Structure formats: C-alpha cells, structure tokens
Structure 1
C-alpha cells in the first residue's frame, strides 16, 4: 500500500526563517537513507511555512485566494514522505524509528492512499 506520512507543523516550524539544527538534519538524513535502502521511500520534501503559501477557497463557481500565514500550526503540514509499505502497521513501525523532526514535541500522521479496490462496487 502507498501512504503519505505527514510531518505536522509546530509553532517553531511555522516561524519565518526556521532552520533545523545540524543534528536534526544529520539524523533525518540517516533515517531517509534507511528508508531508501529498505525500498520504502518513493519521495519526500520539507515545506516552507504557511506565511509563504496561499490557499484557494472554492465556493460554487467562485475562487478566492487567501494569503498565508494560516492559523493553528498543529493543523498544518511541515513536510511529508510517500512510502510503499506492506501495511499500516509497517508504516507505524517505521515512523516510531524516526528522529523527532522538530525542536519541540511533534506529531507525524500516516494516511493511506486510496487504491482502485477501494472504489469497487
């Protein structure tokens, strides 16, 4: 199964100019290498804070552009991986091995992608 592993934003990651420490970068680099070597990681990226983003709100045929930053940092995404794993349990085990990507308490969410079988009648 494919899944998106979402690194949730924190107050620190939403600050303008947030830069992870060299220790965090090294630990995450090592972890990413383990994911690649295991054949699990299909892609990954870190995202700039919402202050540098935009949203487009859809209401019928109207579109409204909203400039960041967006409130509630714990509901935002700071980065993600795309993984190919055998099960959700396997993804959980890999996430438990991940170094904390933030300088403070943080959350990582795992979301399976829909598969064709999910839409079968």
Structure 2
C-alpha cells in the first residue's frame, strides 16, 4: 500500500523559514534510510501558502483564491509517499522523522484495485 505522510504547516514554514543546515542533514539521512529500505516513492517540501492558490468549485463554476491562507494547522508544508505493507509500518517510519516539533498526518493512497470497476 502507498501512504502519504503529510507534514502540517507551522508558523515558521508559512513565514518561509527554511530548515537549518543541521536539520537538512538529519532529513537527508532519514530520506536515505527510506530510500535504502526501498519504501520511498516521493518526497518534497512545499512553498508557503502565500505562493499558492486555491481553485474552489461552486455549482460547477471554478473561482481562484490566492494565498496566503489563515488556517495554518490545516495546510501542508511537505510530504513523503511511501510504499509499505501496513499502516503499522507507516506509523513506525513516521515516528522516526527527525522533527523536534510538528505534526505528520498519515493517509492511505487509493490504489486502482480499491476503486469500483467502471
């Protein structure tokens, strides 16, 4: 199964504060561990919401709202997508992320076989 590990935004990430060189090195080591274990499919950090936009659909009509967005705790600052055997394995990997503070949400990704046939 694929699992997305979603890094929730913080005031610092929304202010554009970048990780320190030490934090980058720790994260690089963690990413290397994921890759060496063969579970890492993708990983990226995201720019602050001030650099983004939302497309909202109402009655089938799209409208665009430019960032920044106020609800920091609901925003994403980055993610990993990993392939693991179970959510327990995903939890184990998430608990090893070298964060001092923060929240990472784990969400299973739909696979084609999870969806109804057409």
TM-score (norm 2): 0.93
In structure 1, which of residues 85, 102, 110 is the aligned counterpart of residue 106 of structure 2?
110
Paired position in structure 1 for 2:30: 31
Match of 2:74 in 1: 75
Q: Could you tell me how far apart the structure 1 residues matched to 2:60 and 2:93 are?
A: 42
CA deviation profile, 1:11-63 (whole Å, cap 9, x unmatched): 11100x31111111000000000000000001110000000001111012311
> What is the match of residue 19 of structure 1?
18
Per the TM alignment, residue 105 of structure 1 is displaced from its structure 2 partner at its CA by 2.5
Q: Which runs of 5+ in 2 are unaligned?
A: none
CA RMSD of aligned residues (A): 1.4
Moved over 4 A (4+): none
- Equivalent position SS for 1:81: strand
Shift of 1:120: 4.6
Q: Size of the alignment, in residue pairs?
A: 117
2-structure distance, mates of 1:114, 1:92: 18
